[in-house]
Amino acid sequence: MTRMSRYIPTLFLAAGVAVAAPACAARIYDTGYPQATYYPPPPPPRVAYVSIATQSGYRDGLEAGRDDWRHHDRFDPAHSRRYRDGDRDYDRRYGSRDEYKREYRSAFERGYREGFSGGGGWRR
């Protein structure tokens, strides 16, 4: 019995800590506000408008980049005649020709970069 009596204070201390710790932690994180039980659904995804110039330029750039990569040509989007012209599929209903060319060339460069790098790791 004397061996057991040595451990009784330690057991009481451990039991006290085990009971008090969660209560103290709950008090620290209690903000006083009711807990939310309802989470609203996420907003619907945004659908971005993509102009004809952007669609056409990206598609043409992707094709040109893949072709240049396949033929081991150097990275040069301005090499393409479609990039230099910049007005493929243009119609005056789309607005200014200069604005159309800016959008087309910007999208062409993005598509070209993706097409040229998507073919693999080896470059000439």
The DSSP output letter for 101 is: H
pLDDT digits (tens, 9 = 90+) for 25-60: 555 555 666 666 666 777 777 767 788 999 999 999
- Side-chain-side CA neighbours of 41 within 13 Å: the count stands at 3
Tally Cβ neighbours within 10 Å of residue 64. Answer: 23
Domain ranges of the chain: 52-117
Given this model, what pLDDT does residue 124 score?
44
User: CA-CA distance, 9 to 17, in Å (whole number)?
Assistant: 12
What are the tokens at 94? 């789309």
Give pLDDT < 70 ranges for the chain.
1-2, 4, 12, 16-17, 19-39, 47, 119-124
| 8 A C-beta contact, residue 116 and residue 68 | yes
